């Protein structure tokens, strides 16, 4: 077959590469500037695929970009760790107080169930220390065998040691019914055992007397019943229930008077962090009041830690 030149036909011009063709380039208007990451074009520049101003010639391939961990200075790592540690929300430290039969035990269960605080009761600590035969327990037992009150110094040391245990430090704590006097509160203050919130359950004397006088103990299971509010399940249980010797109207009124005198002195140490809760209401409504205060405290701490982290 004859070639085009042999037939006298004009030879076709050799086509230019696509990127060199004037219609295959992008002109940047004189009034505009565009940028793409670290690639920018100014007025009058022309973008040609594969050319000097191509994206490929300016944008680094992902595989060639050094990982962040290799580009950070070591000091950045240390600074970040310090910020995270500082921004961590501190666990709650709560004290709850109330007269006998004010419902402290019930509210402590509800608080610990929701907030995961470590429940610490001075009375339970005292019995546990005596049972295991610790040094504090031995000293406390000597006083109790003589019919004397256990000195504040011994009980405060028990409480202090318990609040410094790893679980209480990590999760926060709920100190139940302690301190009961100004001397106890002062002693805790010396050990830097301070509360974020002091909850005082306020219940009228009439209701307290009714709750105490109707209270009964099952000596077999240790469960506490109330003849009106929480009666025994069977007649067999009802027949074996006993009443504490000091759960009489006369003696409970004396205990209430002692409580009122002491609590006023204790409040002087925690007035700035005290909330007074109406304990006359049903237990769910009482807890709702406490829940609001604890939730608000956590929100404030979270906001503060967030601002530190930023």
Count of domains forming the chain: 1
Is 128 within a domain? yes
Q: Give the whole-angstrom CA distance, residue 256 versus residue 98.
A: 10
CA distances from 130 to 127, 133, 282, 285 (A): 5, 5, 36, 37
Is 65 within a domain? no
pLDDT in the model for residue 34: 43
Tell me the DSSP string of 268-282.
HHHGGGEEEEETTS-
Place of tokens 């009980």: 155
- What is the mean pLDDT, run by run of 10 residues, along the chain of 310 residues? 48 48 46 42 47 46 47 50 56 95 93 97 89 88 80 90 95 95 92 95 95 93 90 95 90 89 92 95 96 95 70
Nearest to 47 by CA among 62, 61, 36, 60: 36
Q: Give the whole-angstrom CA distance, residue 123 versus residue 140.
A: 12
pLDDT in the model for residue 289: 97
For the stretch 159-186, pLDDT in tens is 999 999 999 999 999 999 999 999 999 9
Q: Give the whole-angstrom CA distance, residue 220 versus residue 305.
A: 49
Indicate which residues carry an active-site annotation.
Answer: 104, 180, 215, 244, 255
Q: Give the whole-angstrom CA distance, residue 300 versus residue 39.
A: 45
* 3-class secondary-structure state, position 100: coil
CATH number at residue 274: 3.40.50.300
Q: What are phi and psi of 297, to 5 degrees?
A: -65, -40
Is 204 within a domain? yes
Query: Do 17 and 49 meet the contact criterion of CB atoms below 8 Å apart?
Result: no
pLDDT in the model for residue 140: 87
Is 122 within a domain? yes
Is 212 within a domain? yes
For the stretch 107-151, pLDDT in tens is 999 999 999 999 999 988 988 888 899 888 888 888 888 767 788
User: For the whole model, what pTM was predicted?
Assistant: 0.66
Q: Which domain holds residue 179?
A: 90-295
Is 103 within a domain? yes
């Amino acid at each position: 077959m004859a070639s085009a030149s042999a037939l006298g036909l004009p030879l076709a011009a050799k086509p230019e590469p696509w990127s060199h063709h004037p219609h295959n380039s992008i002109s940047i208007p004189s009034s505009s500037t565009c940028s793409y990451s670290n690639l920018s074009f100014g007025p009058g520049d022309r973008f040609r695929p594969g050319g000097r101003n191509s994206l490929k010639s300016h944008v680094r391939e992902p595989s060639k970009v050094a990982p962040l961990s290799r580009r950070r200075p070591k000091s950045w790592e240390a600074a970040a760790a310090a910020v995270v540690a500082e921004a961590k929300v501190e666990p709650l430290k709560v004290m709850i107080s109330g007269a006998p039969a004010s419902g402290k035990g019930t509210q402590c269960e509800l608080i610990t169930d929701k907030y995961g605080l470590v429940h610490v009761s001075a009375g339970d600590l005292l019995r546990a220390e005596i049972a295991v035969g610790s040094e504090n327990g031995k000293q406390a037992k000597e006083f109790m065998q003589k019919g004397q009150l256990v000195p504040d110094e011994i009980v405060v040391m028990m409480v202090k040691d318990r609040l410094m245990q790893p679980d209480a430090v990590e999760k926060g704590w709920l100190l139940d019914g302690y301190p009961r006097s100004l001397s106890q509160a002062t002693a805790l203050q010396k050990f830097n055992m301070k509360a974020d919130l002091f909850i005082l359950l306020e219940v009228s004397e009439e209701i307290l007397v009714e709750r105490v006088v109707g209270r009964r103990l099952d000596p077999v299971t240790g469960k506490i019943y109330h003849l009106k509010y929480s009666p025994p399940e069977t007649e067999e249980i009802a027949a074996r229930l006993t009443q504490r010797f000091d759960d009489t109207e006369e003696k409970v009124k004396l205990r209430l008077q002692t409580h009122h005198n002491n609590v006023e002195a204790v409040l002087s140490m925690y007035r700035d962090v005290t909330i007074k809760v109406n304990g006359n209401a049903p237990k769910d409504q009482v807890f709702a009041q406490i829940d609001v205060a604890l939730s608000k405290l956590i929100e404030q701490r979270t906001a503060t830690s967030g601002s530190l982290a930023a």
